[in-house]
Amino acid sequence: MSTKASNGIKRVGLAPNLTSGFYGQDIISVRQFTRDNLDYIFGVADEMRAVVRRVGSTDLLKGHVLACVFYEPSTRTSSSFIAAMSRMGGSVIPINEVRYSSVTKGESLPDTIRTLESYADVIVLRHPEIGASEVAAKYARKPIINAGDGVGEHPTQALLDLYTIRTDLGKIDGLHVAMVGDLRYGRTVHSLARLLCLYDVRMTFVSPEILRLPLDVMNEVKDHNLPVRETYDVSDVMADADVLYVTRVQRERFADQAQYDEVKDCYVITPELMDKAKEQMVVMHPLPRVNEISYAIDDDPRAAYFRQMENGMYIRMALLAAVLGKA
């Protein structure tokens, strides 16, 4: 596989495995990662966390410039990347106004990317269309990091989710992971499920009938011979789950209101439900939440969703350092 480090125009296949290290590589899909790759990134993230907690920042990426290109808004993700770059001494070109920019004058994504890479050392791209990061990576000489492409992938989110499981529970193998809520449209659920296929885990998918996990993701999990169950009610998994990964069930997904009203309470995590849970487990959520996790459990040590956010910064520090050859 060719690398971008040489500054030559590269034409790589779709989301290649990171077989030759991260330097100069694009981060497009969770499919690029192996357990070894993940161990490496998680190790770097551990170091970043230690540095930030001890002294706040490093100078690792001093003089480096990140172009943070968001075709659709995502305060959480863009803030996390800006913080990550800043805490390594680098600079950021924040581009949130793409709707007003040359894109609305009709410029193609490749032209925009080739322009921005002439200013920056690495590009983080959020785009509403599936495959946009793949296209950007094809034309760019500098590394592209996919920060979400429509209903496609959001690999850095899946990495921070997995990192949070590993950090909070000390391991991934052997765990029972329950995913709850909208499993049909939830991009983060699909990516995390795919990453978990690299490990020896059990998965339970908890959702209303019309929001069940898509066939392709389910088949991928089954192909790895991992034990899988599906259920409609989250109380079925409370006593046994090591990880409760909660996502939002949106009213708009239901054809009629009565159908929604019937199921909605099965997917709200309350203190009463938490009473049934193990002492050592984590409740996760990609945020934003609306009603699906009661505020009353925010101070429960098992509530991991804000730690998850913090971990997002360390994972993004690790990825930026890695693709710039400084990890």
Per-residue tokens: 323? 């693709």
Q: How far is the CB of 42 from a copy of itself (least distance, A)?
A: 18
Least Å from the CB of residue 251 to a copy of itself: 11
Q: Residue 240: which region, alpha, beta or left (left: phi > 0; alpha: psi -120 to 50)?
A: alpha
Based on the shown chain and the rule CB under 8 A, indicate whether residue 294 belongs to the binding site for a copy of itself.
no
Among 215, 255, 258, 290, binds a copy of itself (CB under 8 A): 290
- Measure the CA–CA gap between 80 and 70, rounded to whole angstroms: 13
Check residue 2 for interaction with a copy of itself (CB under 8 A).
no
Of residues 323, 324, 318, the one with CA closest to residue 81: 318
Among residues 287, 302, 325, 326, which is the contact residue for a copy of itself, using CB under 8 A?
287
Smallest separation (angstroms) from a copy of itself to the CB of 165: 17
Determine which residue in the list 39, 43, 62, 270 makes contact with a copy of itself, applying CB under 8 A: 62
**Does 119 contact a copy of itself by CB under 8 A?**
yes
- 94 lines the binding site for a copy of itself (CB under 8 A): yes
Residue 310 near a copy of itself by CB under 8 A: yes
- Active-site annotation, residues: 76-77, 105, 126, 154
Among 87, 142, 166, 194, interactor with a copy of itself by CB under 8 A: 87
d(CA 65, CA 118): 11
Least distance CB 269 / a copy of itself (angstroms): 15
- Identified binder of a copy of itself from the candidate list 8, 54, 106, 252, rule CB under 8 A: 106
Segment 121-124 long-range contacts (CB within 8 Å, at least 24 positions apart): 121/64, 121/65, 121/66, 121/324, 122/64, 122/65, 122/66, 122/67, 122/320, 122/323, 122/324, 123/66, 123/67, 123/69, 124/66, 124/67, 124/68, 124/69, 124/78, 124/81
Q: Work out how close the CB of 241 gets to a copy of itself at its nearest, in angstroms, rounded to a whole number.
A: 23
Closest CA to 288 of 303, 305, 300: 305
Question: Residue 11 Cβ, how far from a copy of itself at the closest point, in Å?
Answer: 11
Chosen residue from 2, 3, 17, 91 binding a copy of itself by CB under 8 A: 91
Cβ closest to a copy of itself, residue 95 vs residue 183: 95
Contacts 24+ apart (CB under 8 A), 259-267: 259/210, 263/208, 263/232, 266/208, 266/232, 266/233, 266/234, 266/235, 267/180, 267/181, 267/206, 267/207, 267/208, 267/234, 267/292
**Binding residues for a copy of itself (CB under 8 A):** 9, 55-58, 62-65, 67, 73-76, 79-80, 82-83, 86-87, 89, 91-98, 100-103, 105-107, 110-112, 114-116, 118-121, 287-290, 295, 299, 306-307, 309-310, 312-313
